[in-house]
């Protein structure tokens, strides 16, 4: 399976509506509206002002997909949002090295989330630590946590969402 290049998620040229966001993430419009009201997801802003219409940036689409992935696993939406914020900071939107997929292992620890970024060859095998600043493979295999955790397949989610966004633009 060839790995697609990560899209430019910071592109502000693409804005999607609440209904389109619901369709992309595979949920209903009422869930999206609830998440907006509760501050789980944020509308796009232009010139420092948040848009009145419920439009979402490309980056927020991807963040919302990650939140939904965790909600499907049983996380509360607010906890999923916090975890995704920590994944987003840790990941820094780095590309996976060629031939590798990126994953985030997420687990709670007291009042915060622990995020371990790792990579796996596209054809499988062990998970390796992903360098935080460089995005390179460290060569150290990841030992999975001994408590319950979630594994977010960042590369696969990006590929899936990129296809849906491309179809939306047609």
Matching CATH number, 15-169, of 3.40.50.9100, 1.10.1660.10, 3.40.50.170, 3.90.120.10: 1.10.1660.10
Quick one: residue 149, left, alpha or beta (phi over 0 = left, psi -120 to 50 = alpha)?
A: beta
CA nearest to 118, candidates 99, 98, 140? 140
| Residue 97 confidence (pLDDT) | 78
pLDDT tens-digit profile of 28-62? 999 999 999 999 998 887 666 555 667 898 889 99
Angle of the 77-91 helix axis to the 58-72 helix axis, nearest 10? 130
Predicted confidence band of residue 1 (pLDDT cuts 50, 70, 90): very low
- What DSSP designation does 149 have? -
User: Which residue matches tokens 């590798």?
Assistant: 100
**Each residue of 31-49: b (16+ CB within 10 Å) or e?**
bbeebbeeebbbbbeeeee
**Residues 19, 70, 61: CA angle, nearest 5 degrees:** 35
Q: Which tokens belong to 160?
A: 């899936």
Lowest mean pLDDT segment, chosen from 19-28, 89-98, 144-153: 89-98
The phi and psi torsions of 116 (rounded to 5 degrees) equal -120, 115
| Domain boundaries of the chain, sorted by first residue | 15-169
Global pTM value: 0.82
């Amino acid at each position: 399976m060839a790995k697609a290049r990560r899209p430019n998620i910071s592109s502000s040229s693409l804005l999607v509506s609440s209904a389109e966001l619901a369709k992309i993430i595979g949920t209903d419009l009422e869930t999206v509206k609830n998440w907006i009201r509760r501050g789980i997801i944020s509308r796009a802003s232009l010139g420092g002002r948040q848009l009145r219409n419920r439009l979402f940036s490309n980056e927020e689409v991807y963040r919302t997909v990650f939140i939904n992935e965790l909600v499907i696993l049983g996380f509360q939406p607010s906890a999923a949002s916090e975890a995704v914020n920590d994944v987003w900071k840790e990941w820094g939107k780095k590309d996976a090295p060629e031939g590798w997929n990126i994953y985030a292992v997420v687990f709670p620890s007291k009042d915060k989330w622990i995020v371990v970024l790792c990579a796996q060859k596209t054809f499988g095998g062990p998970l390796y630590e992903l360098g935080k600043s460089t995005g390179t493979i460290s060569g150290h295999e990841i030992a999975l946590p001994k408590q319950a955790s979630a594994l977010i397949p960042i590369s696969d989610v990006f590929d899936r969402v990129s296809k849906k966004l491309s179809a939306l633009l047609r």
